[in-house]
Chain A
Amino acid sequence: MATQTRSIEVIHKTDITEAVRLTITIGNLQIGGSSVKWETDKEPLKIGPIYDLYLGPGNSILDKVLLIETRFFDRNENTNNVSAMYDFNNGKEPIHVFYDAVKNEKDFFIFKLKVTFKNEAHENI
C-alpha cells in the first residue's frame, strides 16, 4: 500500500475573545482535501476544500477536540513534497504548518490531526 498516514497532535492557543475560523491551504501545487469534525460529533462540519470554516466563539470551544483528516494526491511531477497550512485565524500563532513527502509519483498521503483548543494563557502552552 503506497498511502502513508501521519498522526499529529496539536494544541491551539486560543484567543477566547475572538471567533475561531479555519482555512486549510494545500501547498506544493498538489491536490488535497480535508474533512473536519468535532470529536464528540458524528457528522463532519465540512468535507472538501476548507476555507474560512466557522468553528465557534473562542470561549465556547476551549478544551474541545477537533479532528481533521487531510488527504493529498501527488500530482506535481516536479516534487514529492506535500504540505498543509492550518490557519485558525485566531490566537497569537494561528498557523500550524506540516510537511512531508510521498515515496512515489502519484501516491496518496494522509495527515490526521487532533487539535485541542486551550486558552492562550494555559500553563502548558
Chain B
Amino acid sequence: MKTFKWIILMVCLGNIDLAKAQIKASDIQVPDAPGFVLADKAPSAVDRPTTPKTFGLSLYTLQQGGAIQTTPFWYWQREKLDFKAFMSKKNPLWETLNFSIATFKTDTSTTLSAGIRTHIFRIYNKKNKAAVSAIESNAATAIMMLDIEKEAEARAIMTKHDDSISNILSKPAFRMEFAAAFLGASPDNTFKNLASNKAGAWLNASYNPPNSDFNATLLSRYIWNIGESSATGKDSAFIDNGVSIAYQKKNLNLAFEYVNRIDVAVKDNYSRLAFVINYKISDEITLVSSFGKNYSEVSNIFTVFGAKFGIAGKQQNLN
C-alpha cells in the first residue's frame, strides 16, 4: 500500500503526457523475434513449425506473405534432454538457435525481414536447478494422479507446473544472448531484386543474482538504415551501449535504464536515461509510469503515466 501511495504522489508531481509515451521498458533487451522488429509493422499471424515437414509448408506460405518463428533443434527427438541435462548446458547455441522470418507483400512490392537469436553462454545456479528438480518431481506425481478424461482441468493443473518451470528457465544466473536481423525490399515484387536496406545486431548479457529480486542487463546494439541520415546524406548507423537494473516483486516492477548512443553517420554521441515503474493493481490493470531524459538534445525530458488493460491476466514484465 505504501508503494501505491508513492506512485500516486509521483503521478501528481509529474507532467502527465501520454502523447510522449515513446519509452519502451524493454529497450535494453534483445528482441524475442529479431526478424520481426526491423519491419515497421508486426505480422498478423506467426506460424511456429515444429517439424521439417511443417517448416516446408510454412516456407511455401511465406512466399505469399506471412511469418514464421522456429527453433530447428527441436525438429528431431531429444530423448536425453530432460531438465537436468538442459540446464547443465553452458553453450546452448544450437538448442536455442531461433529463426524469425516475415514477408510483407503488396501489389507492387515485397519486403523480407529475417533474424536469428541464440544463447551463447548461460549458467543456472544450484538454487535454480534444485527448484526445477523439485517442481518436475511434483509434476511427475501430479500427472499420474490426474483424471485425464477431464482434459481442461488436467491441462490447467499441468500448465501451472509448466509456468513455474518456465519462469525459472527464463532467468538463468547469467546469460549472454546474440541476435541479428536484416530487412530487404524488392521494388518490383520479385525476390530476385531484393535489396538489403536495414540491419541490426544485438549482444546482451544478463545477471540474476541468487536470492535476490534484482537483475542487471548489459546491451550492445548496432542498427543500420540505408539512406536515413538526412543530415549527412549517408546511411544512418547507431551503436547503442546500455545498462538496465531492474527490481521485481509480486505486483511491483522497477527498472532503471541508461543507453549511450553513438551516431556513426554524424560522429556524435548522446544518451538516454529512464526510470520505469509498473504496478499491478489487478490481473487486468497495471499502472505504468516512466520519467527521464531522451536521446534528443532539446525537449528531452519526459514523464509518462498510463494504465495497461489486459485480458490475458499477466502482468507486463519489464524484462
Residue numbers of A with Cβ under 8 A of B are 1-3, 25-29, 31-35, 47-49, 69, 71-73, 75-81, 83-85, 97, 99, 106, 108, 110
Main secondary structure of the interface of B (DSSP, over half): helix
Expressed in whole angstroms, the minimum distance between the Cβ of B55 and any Cβ of chain A is 12
Q: Provide the residues of chain B in CB contact with A84, threshold 8 Å.
A: 79
Contact: B136 with A31, CB < 8 Å? yes
14 contacts between A and B (CB under 8 A): A2-B151, A25-B79, A27-B81, A28-B81, A31-B136, A34-B140, A73-B143, A75-B158, A79-B74, A79-B78, A81-B78, A83-B77, A83-B78, A99-B77
The residues in B between 129 and 164 inclusive whose CB is less than 8 angstroms from any CB of A are 136-137, 139-146, 148-149, 151, 154-155, 158-159, 161-162
Provide the bound-state CA to CA distance between A110 and B144, in Å.
Answer: 10
Q: Provide the residues of chain B in CB contact with A106, threshold 8 Å.
A: 155, 158-159
Contact: B80 with A33, CB < 8 Å? no
Provide the bound-state CA to CA distance between A33 and B78, in Å.
Answer: 17
Contact: A33 with B144, CB < 8 Å? yes
Contact: B159 with A97, CB < 8 Å? no
- 5 new A-B pairs (CB below 8 Å) besides A35-B144, A73-B139, A108-B143? A33-B142, A47-B144, A49-B141, A79-B50, A108-B155
- Name the residue on B nearest A80 (C-beta): B50
Contact: A75 with B165, CB < 8 Å? yes
Are A83 and B79 CB-contacts (below 8 A) given A75-B165, A108-B154?
A: yes
Residue numbers of B with Cβ under 8 A of A are 48, 50-51, 70-71, 73-83, 86, 136-137, 139-146, 148-149, 151, 154-155, 158-159, 161-162, 165-166
Expressed in whole angstroms, the minimum distance between the Cβ of B99 and any Cβ of chain A is 12
- Name the residue on B nearest A100 (C-beta): B77
- Name the residue on B nearest A95 (C-beta): B79
Contact: B162 with A33, CB < 8 Å? no
- Name the residue on B nearest A26 (C-beta): B82
Contact: A25 with B80, CB < 8 Å? yes
Expressed in whole angstroms, the minimum distance between the Cβ of B301 and any Cβ of chain A is 41
Q: Provide the residues of chain B in CB contact with A48, threshold 8 Å.
A: 137, 140-141, 144
Residue of B51, B136, B148 near A49 (CB, 8 A) is: B136
Q: Provide the residues of chain A in CB contact with B158, threshold 8 Å.
A: 31, 73, 75, 106, 108
Provide the bound-state CA to CA distance between A81 and B74, in Å.
Answer: 8
Contact: A71 with B144, CB < 8 Å? yes
Q: Provide the residues of chain A in CB contact with B142, threshold 8 Å.
A: 33
Contact: A29 with B161, CB < 8 Å? no
Residue of B79, B137, B141, B146 near A28 (CB, 8 A) is: B79
Contact: A31 with B80, CB < 8 Å? no
Contact: A28 with B143, CB < 8 Å? no
Contact: A71 with B143, CB < 8 Å? yes
Q: Provide the residues of chain B in CB contact with A29, threshold 8 Å.
A: 78, 81-83, 86
Expressed in whole angstroms, the minimum distance between the Cβ of A35 and any Cβ of chain B is 5
Expressed in whole angstroms, the minimum distance between the Cβ of A75 and any Cβ of chain B is 4
Q: Provide the residues of chain B in CB contact with A99, threshold 8 Å.
A: 77, 79
Contact: A33 with B140, CB < 8 Å? yes
Expressed in whole angstroms, the minimum distance between the Cβ of A72 and any Cβ of chain B is 8
Q: Provide the residues of chain A in CB contact with B144, threshold 8 Å.
A: 33-35, 47-48, 69, 71
- Name the residue on A nearest B80 (C-beta): A27
